[in-house]
Amino acid sequence: MEDYLKAIYSLTRHSDTASTSDLAYRLGITAGSVSTMIKRMGSAGLVEHVPYHGARLTADGQQLALGVIRRHRLLELFLTTSLEIPWEDVHPHADALEHAASDELIELIAQKLGDPDSDPHGDPIPDRDLQIHEPATQRLADLKPGAHASIVRVSDSDPAMLRYLTELGISIGDQLHVTARQPFDGPCDVQIAGRTHSLGINLARAIHVEMTTDNR
């Protein structure tokens, strides 16, 4: 159920509801299984089913979802900083641990890490009151040549992309300058720390940035 809560929260960040098919794809299960769980969660007061559209979280469901997200992202950061697990590999470990770790352990981890506000991928961590601040960002793929920006968030949906960025030496906090954009969904050329990288459009869409006046 916690996995469903996380998935619905994620899918409804930019839309009103999460469809059964999108949930099935996100969770890697059948649409029938999703429908059954949505009914159970609806009976528990965690989701509201919108006929022909999908499901959305109730206030109670959102609070539970944010609690699970807090656990997951704190665990990811702990595994990366304390155990030096690469950022492309922490997601499945955090998935497994988030359901078993006690609230006391999670808060000890938060204190140990200095109450961080983001995980290794730049995703915001809900605070102890389960409030979450998600600053507006832009996708690198949407920037025009000449733009200067700072990398603040990278999607963790594809570990291979994260691994590739590591090989290139690109990480959260890097300052970049867009030097060229190829047409028809071609690559995006960026300069980071004096080096030029040609990033494919799918990778550029996975990188979220905040605009800066320059990259120095």
Domain boundary residue, one of 57, 76, 98: 57
Task: Domain count for the chain, please give it.
Answer: 2
Residue 108 belongs to some domain of the structure: no
Q: Domain of 181: which CATH number?
A: 2.30.30.90
Domain boundary residue, one of 11, 31, 57: 57
pLDDT (tens digit, 9 = 90+) per residue, 62-117? 999 999 999 999 999 999 999 999 999 999 999 999 999 999 999 999 999 999 99
Share of the chain above pLDDT 90, in %: 94
Residue 1 has pLDDT above 50, yes or no: yes
Answer yes or no: pTM beyond 0.75.
yes
Residue 14 has pLDDT above 90, yes or no: no
Domain boundary residue, one of 38, 57, 76: 57
Q: Which of 27, 25, 110 is nearest to 73 (CA)?
A: 110
Residue 49 belongs to some domain of the structure: yes
Our measurement of the distance from residue 3's CA atom to the centroid of its chain's CA atoms, rounded to an integer in Å, reads 14
Read off the pLDDT of each residue in 158-179 and give the average, rounded to a whole number.
97
- Which residue range forms the structural domain that includes residue 27? 2-57
Residue 138 is predicted with a pLDDT of 96
The first and second tokens of residue 138, run together, are 């832009």
Residue 64 belongs to some domain of the structure: no
Residue 88 belongs to some domain of the structure: no
Residue 215 is predicted with a pLDDT of 45
Cα–Cα distance for residue pair 172/111, rounded to 1 Å: 22
Residue 97 belongs to some domain of the structure: no
**Which residues contact residue 153 at a Cβ distance below 8 angstroms, ignoring those fewer than 6 apart?**
118, 121, 122, 123, 137, 172, 207, 208
Q: Which of 75, 60, 56 is nearest to 10 (CA)?
A: 56
Q: Domain of 42: which CATH number?
A: 1.10.10.10
**Which residues contact residue 164 at a Cβ distance below 8 angstroms, ignoring those fewer than 6 apart?**
203
Read off the pLDDT of each residue in 14-30 and give the average, rounded to a whole number.
94
DSSP annotation of 170 reads -
The first and second tokens of residue 72, run together, are 């997951």
Residue 32 belongs to some domain of the structure: yes
In the chain, what are the helix, strand and coil shares in percent, each to the nearest 5? 45, 20, 35
Residue 193 belongs to some domain of the structure: yes
Distance set, CA 11 to CA 15, 47, 105, 151, 197 (Å): 7, 13, 28, 23, 31
Sheet arrangement for strand 195-199: 138-139, 207-212, 148-154, 175-181, 188-192, 195-199
